Structure 1
């Protein structure tokens, strides 16, 4: 993992990218996107996640997040563990035309890592970037906002339903002083 993308300050907001192994287009199906949305909702309500924005693309997600408890790495680890377990269960239990191919990709990914024994859903690492200025925050929010447009999914960002941007008065927070 690149040293530049480690979450050093666990209390600060970060721009996080979680990418599916081999860039498999898993989130083209609603049932898998719903796992992500439900997990984010749970983390907000029970684990102290502060969610400033997200977008779910076909094979990765971008998040701007912070932890109320100052344990962002733990929160992201738990989120990825929970979502991978639930998505893999859905792949195996529900109708899925790409089942064998996807499971083969996720199984092969375990060969180079010892942590996962059967399947690896998410790539290791989070490409975490600390949000250190208000300008950088707006750059990342714009990036999230424009992602579905650049991908050719919609003409206007507000037409894409798997995007969320939280309007927060950041300038009132001590962090930006």
Structure 2
């Protein structure tokens, strides 16, 4: 991903495990997004956090030290997941063991999907996809997009940003 470009980004938990099903892990992701927004490292135009993956429509605004903000998001959330699993769910931690020189655990699959969104029309298309994700038959997490708490759908329906991370895509395009 390049700075100053808007992307549709999908990040998936290793082996599609439903690590993000508990709300506390969704909150970990949102807290890091809040921090990155406050530090003016990213702009978030849309999101949904599902039980085993997340979709973001976002823009990297500037580096976070020597790394891209998406790398910071992955590192920070991974360390938070590790800390909580060690303390509260040690048996579940074995699902995420990866004994390599780089790391002992992996929570996010390698190579998240990043699709450049150079136009308002593409952003709108992906935003609709993101907001309808919780309604898919195999999920059935809500009856209407705006009813699913872990999404930007309510922001676009009401104008209220419950998480203080969102920028309306029309402010960008």
Give the root-mean-square deviation of aligned CA atoms: 1.9
CA drift at 1:62: 0.4
* Cα contact 1:17–1:126 (8 A) shared by 2: yes
Which runs of 4 or more aligned residues in structure 1 lie more than 3 Å from their structure 2 counterparts after TM superposition? none
Counterpart-to-counterpart distance in 2, 1:119 and 1:67: 26
Please tell me whether residue 160 in structure 1 is matched to residue 153 in structure 2: no
Q: 2:121 aligns with which of 123, 130, 135?
A: 135
Q: Which residue of 2 aligns with 1:3?
A: none
Once the two structures are TM-superposed, the CA of residue 162 in structure 1 deviates from its matched residue by: 0.2
In 1, Cα distance between equivalents of 2:109 and 2:10: 10
Where is the helix percentage greater, Structure 1 or Structure 2?
1
**Partner residue in 2 for 1:79:** 73
- Choose which of 20, 33, 39 in structure 2 pairs with 1:27: 20
The superposition leaves residues 96-135 of structure 1 with CA deviations (integer Å, 9 ceiling, x where unpaired) of: 3xx41x322210xx25x6432x101111112000012211
TM-score (norm 1): 0.81
Tell me how far 1:69 sits from its aligned partner.
Answer: 2.0
Q: Which is worse superposed, 141-150 or 126-135? A: 126-135
The unaligned stretches of length 5 or more in structure 2 are 154-166
Cα deviation 1:76-110 (Å, max 9, x = unaligned): 0111000010011111112x3xx41x322210xx2
Q: TM-score, normalised by structure 2?
A: 0.82
Alpha-carbon distance, 1:168 to partner = 3.1
Match of 2:96 in 1: 106
Q: Following the alignment from structure 2 to structure 1, what is the Cα–Cα distance between the partners of residues 87 and 61?
A: 35
- Number of residue pairs the alignment of both structures matches: 156
